[in-house]
Chains A and B, each alone.
Chain A
């Protein structure tokens, strides 16, 4: 048994807000502290090890609800930007650690060390094509320490779209369920519904209620409603994870608010909302519409979202939103990679620099923070940068600082070009996040949205994922940059500030119910349209080294 003593505990899921109490760990789980009432001496003597956390903050390990840390697209990006790798933080090979590089697109081993080194212990890879899911699992396996889940790209899969167009919702549900199990993933992602399919023709889908290239009656709105319904009917732990249409486009606030209407009556998670909250009709008059988006979002309690905040500096944009990436390539004139994934999705990659002198970038920087401040319920908005799109995940502590320190934030706003200050509302916002709210948006909230009952809290039975931060960091560090200790599944993975390695971490997967006969329906369609053999399409369960199948609630429940 291991005991963490004397720390100030922030465990919002269990209504613990800065209380000094002990946390006891056994068998990788949090166990009941034989606590205060019994007198601390006896159990303390029994503990194999005690960590003295006095003067420190004890948080549940961070949970990243939306990140891109593994897969063919990210790996393409690594090859595209060797100049970034050269400048990246180096991870030296040692007895406990593998070699690697940090930077914009960290290598797999470094990804695990960087997340753990910041106190994050669970990550959700938000974009997996079925066709290359085998590869994504290889990378996830080589990402140490953290537990993982992954979401399957479904909103441009032609087999699913054809069924939705034909109004065959039930058969579509069986196909989606079959694909989820074939890819060994945790949930469903929708990226620019219809737009990526249209991109195969060099087109986009920018109007929610209009049809797009290749289809006669199907619209993005129908795909969104159809998939949200399927995810609910399959009772997946995480709702439909949606990247709305018109990402990054001035004036896209209308699309975003309309999408919320389409989703009424269904659960959904809106990804990187920052990229979807702009007004204006061109780059010259683009401005923040965070207030309008937050107002609509606050009313739609069926939804959660993550910020997708932007930080100034280097980034690499990687998204299945192919048409947007072509536009970004034309805007920047920089490198561009495009991957079309047969009949199911696509991807674009463009290196990018967010500059504080750029009006557009300044607006983007502000909008991410504005959304986190204007959305009133911290249980519905989570800290992300859509890594590596808006900035790297290892810069999260900078965003925490901006949320917690109003004066620091206002000082940053004052440094923006005056023209940019007129296009945002951030300078007028006085909300200050409390430590408890930070624990919600970084851990408790995303764990709840992902439907991971044993993550994001420190109650009895929870996974012993714990981050312990010094209450007063060094002058050059942000509050959450350097945890003193991090525990993952009860194992100490950061000690005295150093990542000392750790086990491989698990992969959460689900097996939704489907009619076994659906395979006979899929097989001939697949053989006509794809270039690999149908039997090579699914990921064999044996390819996953540490799978953990999460049971879905039964119908009656």
Chain B
């Protein structure tokens, strides 16, 4: 089991105990003792304590390490000097490759330390390819460690309704996909949108300042059980029942397994779904928007 560019001990605290490291399984009756865990990261986080092997690499060298590892797995010669630029030795990578091949079932979990640092999607591509190629030797899989909340659920629903996971524009009446153009931060930074409806997220706390500035310029509506950075800058904040505590629904685990949520406490506030449905009905009751004549003329 390889964690790469992530710190599950602090960011996904149930991952070790509920899913991966300590659980006894049908074919791993010894639990933790039946598994080998490797952590690849640029610093010794608390997750390193859980690992059998900690490989500390230099920042920004994930792609180089993954590529060297792919070569070693396939038995190709590697340039010692190039490998050592990653902060590791050829012997360490050879040992890792041997262990990976000996595994009965191997898995790589990768976090944002891999996918959002220098190299970005190329890093993800490199270790997904490594996992795919490992199947010539033994069973190996690879899975991203997703962010908090139901981000996987949003991804799943967008895929079956529009064909794309994120960065979707419906402005032409059908779905189009172009990350970098239609993704949220890019739209906000360019100032392309003239209103925002925000659900289950707090961009005011996480996005770059120019994006936040645009949110405070335009009519921003926030649905959230709590006061957040975003709700403070919004024109309208509708307090809703917290999903999973007071509102039912479905949450998708990061492996896309859906789980039903059963509310435990009553809430005086409406659910997100109620609010959106009422807005939709109110909008539908109004006459359809037509572009003003001068706009139509300009398009013609």
Residue on B nearest A108 in the bound complex, by CB: B160
B104 at the interface (CB under 8 A from A): yes
A330 at interface, CB cutoff 8 A: yes
**Would you call A498 an interface residue if the criterion is a C-beta within 8 Å of the partner chain's C-beta atoms?**
no
User: Given A91-B174, A100-B174, A532-B259, A109–B161 Cβ distance below 8 Å?
Assistant: yes
Write out the residue numbers on chain B whose beta carbons fall within 8 Å of the beta carbon of A528.
26
Query: Are the C-beta atoms of B136 and A135 separated by less than 8 Å?
Result: no
Whether, in the assembled complex, B33 has its beta carbon less than 8 Å from a beta carbon of chain A, the answer is no
Residues B173 and A92 in contact, CB atoms below 8 Å apart: yes
Question: A-facing mask of B129-159, CB < 8 A → 1, else 0?
Answer: 0001001101101000000000000011101
Is A131 touching B257 in the complex (CB atoms < 8 A)?
yes
Q: Which of B220-275 contact A (CB under 8 A)?
A: 250, 252, 256-260
Question: Which residues of B are found within 8 Å of A107, using beta-carbon distances?
Answer: 160-163, 175
Q: Mark B15-26, 1 if CB is under 8 A from A, else 0.
A: 000110001011
Q: Which residues of A contact B132 (CB under 8 A)?
A: 329, 336
**Contact residue among B25, B136, B160, B252 (Cβ-Cβ distance under 8 Å from A142):** B160
Distance in Å: Cβ of B137 to nearest Cβ of chain A:
8
Q: Is the CB of B174 within 8 A of A92?
A: yes
One of B25, B258, B260 near A132 (C-beta < 8 A): B258
Quick check: is A536 within 8 A (CB to CB) of the other chain? yes
Bitwise interface map of A from 184 to 227 toward B, beta carbon under 8 Å scored 1, else 0: 00000000000000011110000000000000000000000000
Contacts of A93 in B (CB 8 A): 170, 173-174
For B252, list chain A residues within 8 Å (CB).
Answer: 135
Residues of A within 8 A of B159 (CB): 75, 78-79
Q: Which residues of B contact A304 (CB under 8 A)?
A: none
Q: Which residues of B contact A138 (CB under 8 A)?
A: 157, 160, 250, 258
For chain A residues 322-346, which have a beta carbon within 8 Å of chain B? 326, 329-330, 336, 338, 340, 343
| CB 8 Å contact bits of B153-185 with A (1 = contact, 0 = none) | 001110111111100001011110100000000
- Taken together as a complex, chains A and B put the C-alpha atoms of A403 and B297 apart, in Å, by 52
Residues of B within 8 A of A101 (CB): 162-163, 174-175
Which of A55-63, A82-90, A410-418, A482-490 forms contacts with chain B? A82-90
Given contacts A93-B174, A134-B260, contact A201 B105 (CB under 8 A): yes
Q: Is the CB of B160 within 8 A of A78?
A: yes
Q: B-facing mask of A247-264, CB < 8 A → 1, else 0?
A: 000000000000000000
Q: Which residues of B contact A326 (CB under 8 A)?
A: 135
Chain B residue contacts of A536, Cβ below 8 A = 259-260
Max chain A Cβ within 10 angstroms of own Cβ: one of B18, B139, B141, B252: B139
A40 within 8 Å of B (CB atoms): no
* Separation of A158 and B25 alpha carbons in the complex (Å): 13
Q: From residue A166, how far is it (CB to closest CB) to chain B in Å?
A: 15
- Once A135-B258, A338-B141 are accepted as A-B contacts, the answer to whether A529 and B25 lie under 8 Å apart by CB is yes
Which residues of B have CB within 8 Å of A103?
163
Candidate in B155, B160, B259 with the most chain A CB atoms within 10 angstroms: B160
Task: Tell me which of A70, A92, A135, A202 contacts B139 (CB under 8 A).
Answer: A202
One digit per residue, 1 when the CB lies within 8 angstroms of any chain B CB and 0 when it does not, for chain A 124-159 equals 000000011011001100100000000000000010
Q: Which of A508-549 contact B (CB under 8 A)?
A: 528-529, 531-532, 536, 540, 543
Residue ID in chain B nearest A158 by CB atoms? B26
- Nearest CB of A to B74, in Å: 13
Contact yes or no, A532 B163, CB < 8 A: no
In the complex, what residues of B have CB within 8 A of residue A99's CB? 162, 170, 173-175
Q: Select from chain B the residue with minimum beta-carbon distance to A525.
A: B26
At the interface, yes or no: A76 with Cβ under 8 Å from chain B? yes
* Assembled-state Cα–Cα distance A338/B136 (Å): 14
**A135 x B259 contact (CB < 8 A):** no
A481 at the interface (CB under 8 A from B): no
Contact partner of B174 (CB less than 8 A), chosen from A90, A105, A135, is: A90
* Closest chain B CB from A539 CB (angstroms): 9
- Complex Cα spacing A106 to B175, Å: 12
**Which chain A positions have C-beta within 8 A of B138?**
202
| Chain B CB within 8 A of A461 CB | no
A contact residues, total (Cβ < 8 Å):
51
CB distance from B22 to the nearest CB of A (A): 13
Using CB atoms, name the residue of chain B closest to A88: B163
B interface bracket (residues with beta carbon within 8 Å of A):
35 or more
Bound complex: CA of A168 vs CA of B183, how far in Å? 55
Asked whether, in the complex, the Cβ of B104 is within 8 Å of the Cβ of A78, the reply is no
Are A330 and B170 closer than 8 Å at their CB atoms? no
Q: Quick one: closest A residue to B164, CB to CB?
A: A82
Chain B residues near A135 (CB-CB < 8 A): 156, 252, 256, 258
Is the beta-carbon distance between B175 and A201 smaller than 8 angstroms? no
Q: How far is it, in angstroms, between the C-alpha of A536 and the C-alpha of B261 when the chains are bound? A: 9
Question: What residues of chain A lie closer than 8 Å to B257, measured between beta carbons?
Answer: 131-132, 531-532
Q: Does A497 contact B (CB under 8 A)?
A: no
Contact at A139–B170, with CB atoms within 8 Å? no
Q: Does A72 contact B (CB under 8 A)?
A: yes
If A109-B161, A135-B258, A139-B160 touch, whether A200 touches B173 (CB-CB below 8 Å) is: no
CA distance A529 to B28 in the complex (A): 11
Residues of B within 8 A of A531 (CB): 18-19, 23, 257
The contact of A78 among B23, B136, B163, B172, by CB within 8 Å, is: B163
CA A235 – CA B26 in complex, angstroms?
A: 33
Minimum Cβ distance to chain B for residue A1 (Å): 32
Q: Chain A's nearest CB lies how many Å from the CB of B287?
A: 13
- What residues of chain A lie closer than 8 Å to B170, measured between beta carbons? 93, 99
Which of B136, B163, B170 is packed against the most chain A CB atoms within 10 Å?
B163
A75–B160 contact, CB under 8 A? yes
Q: How far is the CA of A109 from the CA of B162 in the complex (A)?
A: 9
Inter-chain contact B136/A330, CB cutoff 8 Å: yes
Among B23, B252, B257: residue with most chain A CB under 10 A:
B257
Contacts of B25 in A (CB 8 A): 529
Residues of A within 8 A of B260 (CB): 134, 536, 540, 543
Judge whether A529 and B139 touch: CB under 8 Å: no
Residue among B104, B136, B161, B170 with max Cβ neighbours from chain A (10 Å): B161
Residues of B within 8 A of A199 (CB): 139
- Is B163 touching A340 in the complex (CB atoms < 8 A)? no
Across the interface, which residues of B come within 8 angstroms of A201, CB to CB?
104-105, 139
Check A132–B256 contact: CB distance below 8 A.
Answer: yes
Which A residues are in CB contact (< 8 Å) with B160? 70, 75, 78, 107-108, 138-139, 142
Please list 9 pairs of residues, one from A and one from B, whose beta carbons are closer than 8 Å in the complex, sorted by A's number: A93-B170, A93-B173, A99-B173, A100-B174, A101-B162, A105-B163, A107-B161, A202-B105, A529-B25
A residues sitting closer than 8 Å to B (CB atoms) are 70, 72, 75-76, 78-79, 82, 85-86, 88, 90-94, 98-101, 103, 105-109, 131-132, 134-135, 138-139, 142, 158, 199-202, 326, 329-330, 336, 338, 340, 343, 528-529, 531-532, 536, 540, 543
Additional A-B contacts beyond A131-B257, A134-B250, A202-B139 (18; CB < 8 A): A72-B256, A75-B156, A78-B160, A82-B177, A99-B174, A103-B163, A105-B163, A107-B163, A108-B160, A134-B260, A135-B156, A138-B258, A158-B26, A200-B105, A202-B105, A329-B132, A531-B23, A532-B259
A-B residue pairs, 7 tightest by C-beta: A202-B139, A92-B173, A90-B174, A85-B163, A101-B163, A134-B258, A78-B159
